[in-house]
Structure 1
């Protein structure tokens, strides 16, 4: 083969060189713009991760709020400097749908990244609400109106005895109905668990009867250590077919659980109602309040005792008796204390 055949035409060489130069130029441009993009992204991330001079405070994420609303609200309230940047990085990281409704504590000088973590993964601020043992359902519903963090959605009054009195932690924006549902679920769960561990010899045969008796125990004593004994007395009376003769059941028949404000009259003791256990030889028709955990557990596993009677002893507790004669002496002592204290 001759040297002439090895040589390429100059025109072909020029075309090849142009293509190579074009590819090199494109590669250089891509490298340049890639560097610009990376530098920009690095700068954006630096601003997103950098702490800013803000005071600590509380930020509320409204229910159903989207990323734009949250970002603008954060900027308006001074927690971030750039809502657009917050939205951009959140979207780029695929975190747009991770926010939770509620109130959140933002620490001083937090970065946008830290603020995002608090709003997406942190624990919302919770406010305690305590329902006292022995309140009626109507009283509990009324007490919800004093809790400013709850939304008043005008809930219906739950059936008596269906709520569990205790302290509940609630986020701002929870409705009163939602809290009542939570209280009802707590009572159901407690009763279901306790029922499985009950003394099989107790005279109450259903969960509903257990709550009714527990409500009477709850109203008879506010002393935790006495609930088992009071439950034991009522258990003994039920086994013997005796009337419970509980004063709070008379009051419930008169006022539906509201304070009577005076001593019970003889005519009220003699008046038959669906709750007056001086007149009916059985449990009241319904619970007379919402009993607490201790009263429910006491009824399902009452203290072993021979006592059939009890009366106030003047110290906040009760004097228990096995016989009517002993009980009458205790009653006489209590009447004397009442006279000395000017009680009528």
Structure 2
């Protein structure tokens, strides 16, 4: 009898061990195989959060099938106690193993709320926005103009949360003076700035920074990035361009940047100015004259006067030959590429066409017709405005 009991016990033990082994193998597959999440989600790991709470959030959000397996796997990897606070974008069908690696590696938050200081041509804005993980687009929560407005109610408490990312965005076509003034106003930056960098030497872009980042260090980063963009573009430039050096190309790029806000027009606008340079014609572009008046310190805020168009200054391209002595703004990468890869056209003129773009012409007669059409549009708009 005892022999049968022992035999049955051993058989049962073997069955249990096989079952346990199968269970372990199944759980391991669950841990490393793609998860059930169909649509990206944003997981917030709060300061002081523990693995039990995080696993529960993931399970309730549909990112994992079992909070227990998630916790067990994290403990087996010795990562259960290594959570880093922040907001993490969990991609569809992420594995449990991948999520554990993601939330224990740390680094910048990849979703959630973002505080943006935007330096624009006509002014600055402070924006609070949140990433919609389903679409990958940002939804604006609140905004204000730091020069003339106070933050909306509740803005500062939301903006100062520990896991809110901070970013400085510099719009194409702003001047170096505007960038320096903007950085001095950015509330989450620190440190002082020396001299205003040379015009055109700063790269418009979006820069993610840490709270308390040094203003001068960020400015130096912008300068280094623009230098590389220009060097790379110059190295791959089209043949036969009328520029003696990269600095002249940068000057042209800044003019193109200020003359059109339509991306598809940049290379056409560049072709007009290249054609005029090659024919020895004056560039005759208003933005250079405006820069000569303002020195790049903000908007002119009015139309140019005839006296300003006639006055001989280094930036008055109605009077001087060729390019002005330097850039009139900080051009973006696309404008630099347009200046170094202009379209092959015979255009010598362009004027606004009422759609936000321009009408281009090869002859003065054609240009005069385009100008007349634009004047008619202006007149109609003025009359409509007066009637209202």
Rounded Cα–Cα distance in structure 2 between residues aligned with 1:241 and 1:191? 26
Q: 1:154 maps to what in 2?
A: 193
Normalized per residue, the structure richer in strand is 2
Give the 3-state SS of the residue equivalent to 1:277 in structure 2: coil
Question: In structure 2, do the counterparts of structure 1 residues 167 and 106 end up closer, same or farther at CA, with 3 Å as the change threshold?
Answer: closer
Give the 3-state SS of the residue equivalent to 1:184 in structure 2: helix
Q: 2:131 maps to what in 1?
A: none
**TM-score relative to the length of structure 2:** 0.58
Out of 306, 319, 325, the position equivalent to 2:365 is: 325
Q: 2:86 maps to what in 1?
A: 105
1:134 aligns with 2:173: yes
Q: How many equivalent residue pairs? A: 240
Residues 231-260 of structure 1, C-alpha deviations (whole Å, 9 max, x = no match) = 011010111111110000110111123322
> Could you tell me whether the CA contact under 8 Å between 1:129 and 1:169 is conserved in 2?
yes
- For the aligned residue pairs, the C-alpha RMSD in angstroms reads 2.5
> Could you tell me whether the CA contact under 8 Å between 2:314 and 2:325 is conserved in 1?
yes
1:273 aligns with 2:313: yes
> Could you tell me whether the CA contact under 8 Å between 2:180 and 2:193 is conserved in 1?
no
Rounded Cα–Cα distance in structure 1 between residues aligned with 2:366 and 2:87? 65
Rg (Cα) greater in structure: 1
Out of 236, 241, 250, the position equivalent to 1:197 is: 236
Q: What does 1:95-244 correspond to in 2, within 5 Å?
A: 105=86, 122-125=106-109, 126-244=165-283
Residues 137-174 of structure 1, C-alpha deviations (whole Å, 9 max, x = no match) = 01111222343221142342111000010111112221
Q: 1:264 maps to what in 2?
A: 304
> Could you tell me whether the CA contact under 8 Å between 1:104 and 1:123 is conserved in 2?
no
> Could you tell me whether the CA contact under 8 Å between 1:242 and 1:281 is conserved in 2?
yes
Question: In structure 2, do the counterparts of structure 1 residues 56 and 199 end up closer, same or farther at CA, with 3 Å as the change threshold?
Answer: closer
Rounded Cα–Cα distance in structure 2 between residues aligned with 1:57 and 1:118? 15
**TM-score relative to the length of structure 1:** 0.65
If asked which structure has higher relative contact order (CA below 8 Å, sep 6+), I would say 1
1:312 aligns with 2:301: no
> Could you tell me whether the CA contact under 8 Å between 2:171 and 2:204 is conserved in 1?
yes
1:340 aligns with 2:329: no
Question: In structure 2, do the counterparts of structure 1 residues 120 and 173 end up closer, same or farther at CA, with 3 Å as the change threshold?
Answer: farther
Q: 2:46 maps to what in 1?
A: 57
Alpha-carbon distance, 1:273 to partner: 0.8
